[in-house]
Structure 1
Amino acid sequence: MSVYGKVVVLGTGIMGTALAGRLLGQGENVTVWNRTPERAASLAAAGATVAATPAEAVTGADVVLLTLFDADAVIGVLKEAADATPAGATWVQMSTIGIEGTDTVAAVAREHGLTLVESMMLGTKGPAEQGTLVLLTGGDADRLTAIDPLLALVSQKRVYAGPQVGAGSRLKLVCNTWIALLTAGTGQAFAMLRALGLDPKLFLDAIAGGQSDSVYAHVKGDLMIADDYQPANFQLRGLHKDLELAEDATGDDGKFPILDALRGLYAKAEEQGQGREDIAAVYRVLP
């Protein structure tokens, strides 16, 4: 049974499809739109209504979830659909578009009289499908409370970052930089073990159950040991993009040397053709 009326998902890439599928599975009334309609075919088969345009999609909507690739795509959809949006609808910005992009999107929403909050996704396709994402929210607290029953269907936890749309985006850049660091650190440990003539599994055995243990190190480490990164749980090119956004947000002036090093490492991996593989593939570019 529907918790929150008509829910619209604009953008059915990996995460948009996972979110829409999860909501359909929970009995929600879901309408989707994608610039390439064929990518919404599986959702149509699962019971979603597929709209031909963003304006058609948001007509009569209660909540609109934005899961698009970049700021330009979000801005274009906002402008195209604004006049068709009901007065009481809530737009939820969930695309990773950086600080500058988020500020521009928020300004466009205000210009068109749209109510916009953000709910950034910390997690990948699997957690989205299972409803176990962590959502990093920002914007009007009352509006976020009003749609919390819907957000709870796709997440295990919501972390409120502050009243400004953009606070959640800032927190996500920090969290994804940490994920990049954990993955690269695990890869470096394995590279060192290889250089020192030791079995890579010894590292995971050594940290298991101790204060330095990390579930994430085991997950990515197992992929590195297997040297098989498909299918990608978190594509390397996506994390590289996030590191670029983090660099833009903090300033490219050497203030954060570890971030600078990570950005260079993931850029090298993408240049060598690892972009569509799991982020564990960063291990391949280490000596």
Structure 2
Amino acid sequence: MVAVLGTGIMGDAMARNIAAAGLGLRAWNRNRAADVVLTALANEKAVADVMDQAHDGLAGHPVRVQTCTVSPDGGRRLAEQAARLDVAYAEAPLLGTKEPAVAGTLTILAASPRQEAREEVRPVLEAVGTRTVWLDEVGQPSSLKLAYNAWVLATVEGVAESLTLADALGVDPHLVIDVIDGSGLNSPYVQSKGPKMLDDDLDTPSFPLEAAAKDAGLITDTARAAGLHLGIAEVVRESLRRAADDGLGRADVAATYHMSRQAAS
């Protein structure tokens, strides 16, 4: 039996794939027994609060799979909480947005202090993704996820600025996406986000801007704590913050294009 706590964009898609794989599923778990409890919530505080509230329903000592993007220290704090609750813990942040979550093709970055927990969660991870990268220690998956998201957010911001520049110089910005297609720098992500920006197709987010802004803050704060100043990441953080303040938090992250266009006007 698998319990999924949190049925937003990612949790809903994963829950459907877990059910499709023939694994018993509870979509919300407070009082019922479960072998695996998977949390797909917004941030570290939400995960910690829900798990504290669910404490009385965790009889049987299930394995807790934590998929939210948090800082490395946050991942370790959640592991410590799991230990206090006498629950085995697997850190498992996800690479991918709504579309791969629905398709069951996510990449999962995972670590657990207990080998037996790895085996228990393996069928669940195989149901929601096509690749699991196991790391040695809790905290490492979150570190790798932040490094990955630094690239993702820099890509989105870079596409937004490229389109804005082309338009300002009198060139059809659709041609930017066209010339990238087929080049060595092309990627499905560019071909997804670029047209969303140009078509203003932002109301059905695959990666909500408010979640991207939260991740940008984690990236820069974690970098600063490590003695680093990431110039691009700092710019992206500020751009996403301004977009969220401008009421675009629930739009797709591609809505950062609006901020580039405002700066150009």
Instruction: Please indicate, yes or no, whether the TM-score normalized by the shorter chain is above 0.5.
Output: yes
Q: How does 1:231-246 map to 2 (within 5 A)?
A: 231-246=204-219
2:53 aligns to what? 80
What's the counterpart of residue 123 of structure 2?
149
Aligned length: 259
Give runs of aligned pairs for residues 23-172 of structure 1, distance below 5 A.
23-33=18-28, 51=29, 54=30, 56-57=31-32, 59=33, 61-87=34-60, 89-140=62-113, 142=115, 143-160=117-134, 162-172=135-145
Quote how far apart the aligned CAs of 1:83 are. 4.8
Q: CA separation in 2, counterparts of 1:276 and 1:81? A: 28
**In the alignment, which residue of structure 1 is the partner of 2:4?**
9
Offset of residue 86 of structure 1:
4.2
Aligned to 1:271: 245
What code does the residue aligned with 1:19 have? M
Question: Contact between 1:254 and 1:260, CA under 8 Å: does it hold in 2?
Answer: no
**Structure 1: gaps of 5 or more residues:** 1-5, 34-50
In 2, distance between residues paired with 1:178 and 1:130? Answer: 23
- Once residues 257 and 45 of structure 2 are traced to their aligned partners in structure 1, the CA distance between those partners, rounded to angstroms, is 32
2:90 and 2:110 in contact (8 A); partners too = yes
Instruction: Give the percent of matched residue pairs that are identical in Structure 1 and Structure 2.
Output: 33
Quote the residue 1:37 is aligned against: none
Match 1:226 to one of 178, 193, 199? 199
Amino acid at match of 1:247: T
Cα 1:254–1:64, aligned 2, differ >3 Å: closer, same or farther?
Answer: closer
Q: How big is each residue's C-alpha offset from its partner over 1:118-148, in whole Å with a ceiling of 9 and x where there is no partner? A: 1111112221121111111122373324422
Q: Distance in 1 between matches of 2:48 and 2:114?
A: 23
Match of 1:196 in 2: 169
Secondary structure of 2:179's partner?
helix
- Higher mean C-alpha displacement, 250-259 vs 13-22: 250-259
- Whether the 8 Å contact between 1:19 and 1:128 is mirrored in structure 2 is yes
- Deviation for aligned residue 1:207: 2.0
Q: Give the drift of 1:205.
A: 2.1
Determine the C-alpha separation between the residues in 2 that align with 1:76 and 1:229: 31
SS at match of 1:153: helix
State the match for 2:235 in structure 1.
261
Letter matched to residue 17 of structure 2: R
2: CA distance, partners of 1:127 / 1:109: 28
Contact residue 35 and residue 60 of structure 2 kept, 8 A: no
Normalised TM-score (structure 1): 0.84
TM-score, normalization by structure 2: 0.91
Structure 2 unaligned residues grouped into runs of 5+ = none
How far did residue 26 of structure 1 move?
A: 2.5
Report the counterpart of residue 249 of structure 1 in structure 2: 222
Amino acid at match of 1:276: R
Q: Distance in 2 between matches of 1:169 and 1:254?
A: 17
